[in-house]
Structure 1
């Protein structure tokens, strides 16, 4: 390896270390608050319009998948806008690092849904609780680059997911509120944590 190649490799390594050791300031409270409302709206619509979630699991989970996609788009749009203002030249690298933390949990959730639907559709009632547990793992995976207090959000999703598994296990039924309430509370809590961290940073500046 030439001296130039070694120097370039060192620069890349230093940049990567800098990104991974810096708290990501691209998260915004507005998008997370909006997704909390979106979760409640979806749960309310399903409770009014979907008489038998167990008999129509595709409709039940399809609505939540669409809700998740819209939520990710809202969070992503605000993330890019805020990162452009706060992280300068490290914007793309920091966004990539932040997204990378959640990819394993997201991919696992999608694969679990496909496997259960294919080999054990009678156990699809497990998915809401399992998804919440996976969200908690994704949050804990990215805790080092997220605002202080986010561990509380991860803990909420973990406890909520386990509680949903216990409660749903009694009747083994799908419920709109088993998704809506935990995600609405979790996203609202995340919005509060991010807002508090942003206000603390502004006070220090």
Structure 2
């Protein structure tokens, strides 16, 4: 009986912590890291422009480059997210990090699976992928709005519009370009950085 009561008490504590985390503004994302990831996107675009003669005929190099850039950006964000969460959220840090990952994870998994499916079964449509990735990023940002400054929806809107614009532009030539990946992410991450800097995680968020 005592063991069951202890298990129930622990489960109640976990549930309470999760509820508190869900109602707390997440301060794990910092503007400096957003700027850094935007700079990484710009660097990747420049290197691909200089080193890949024709990304459309060499899609492996194109998408491998962006995959490496995405992995580096993800690691950078993860490291800062853990450090800032420990500093700002103290005992709720783990719950807040879990919540942040949970909100963005579906979009990230969908992006990876979409790339695999197109590569395996419809390689001639790979020109769609840069725009589709941007749309998925927008959906991940919109899913995170409830725990971030509400104005991050502007960044989500940017990625949503840029994603469809890239699809429309690429549909004319069915080609891949480092700039249709690099420039939207440079602008989008810069918008996120400005929003996070202005909001500072304290206001522009529902209590």
**1:62-81 → structure 2 map (5 Å cutoff):** 62-81=64-83
The answer for the alignment partner of 1:164 in structure 2 is: 166
Whether the 8 Å contact between 1:42 and 1:64 is mirrored in structure 2 is yes
The answer for the alignment partner of 1:101 in structure 2 is: 103
How many pairs are equivalent?
Answer: 201
Shift of 1:3: 4.0
Q: Pick from 133, 151, 154: which aligns with 2:153? A: 151
Shift of 1:200: 5.8
Q: Pick from 59, 62, 66: which aligns with 1:60? A: 62
Q: Pick from 33, 41, 63: which aligns with 1:31? A: 33
Equivalent-residue separation in structure 2 for 1:36 and 1:116 (angstroms): 26
The answer for the alignment partner of 2:24 in structure 1 is: 22
Equivalent-residue separation in structure 1 for 2:8 and 2:101 (angstroms): 28
Equivalent-residue separation in structure 1 for 2:201 and 2:97 (angstroms): 21
Whether the 8 Å contact between 2:25 and 2:201 is mirrored in structure 1 is no
Equivalent-residue separation in structure 1 for 2:158 and 2:61 (angstroms): 27
Cα RMSD, aligned residues only? 1.4
Equivalent-residue separation in structure 2 for 1:4 and 1:74 (angstroms): 39
The answer for the alignment partner of 2:195 in structure 1 is: 193
Equivalent-residue separation in structure 2 for 1:111 and 1:5 (angstroms): 38
The answer for the alignment partner of 1:90 in structure 2 is: 92
Equivalent-residue separation in structure 2 for 1:6 and 1:72 (angstroms): 36
Give unpaired runs (5+ residues) of structure 2: none
Whether the 8 Å contact between 1:53 and 1:59 is mirrored in structure 2 is yes
The answer for the alignment partner of 2:114 in structure 1 is: 112
Equivalent-residue separation in structure 1 for 2:43 and 2:83 (angstroms): 26
Equivalent-residue separation in structure 2 for 1:54 and 1:175 (angstroms): 8
Equivalent-residue separation in structure 2 for 1:199 and 1:98 (angstroms): 14
**1:36-55 → structure 2 map (5 Å cutoff):** 36-55=38-57
Equivalent-residue separation in structure 2 for 1:113 and 1:140 (angstroms): 22
The answer for the alignment partner of 2:186 in structure 1 is: 184
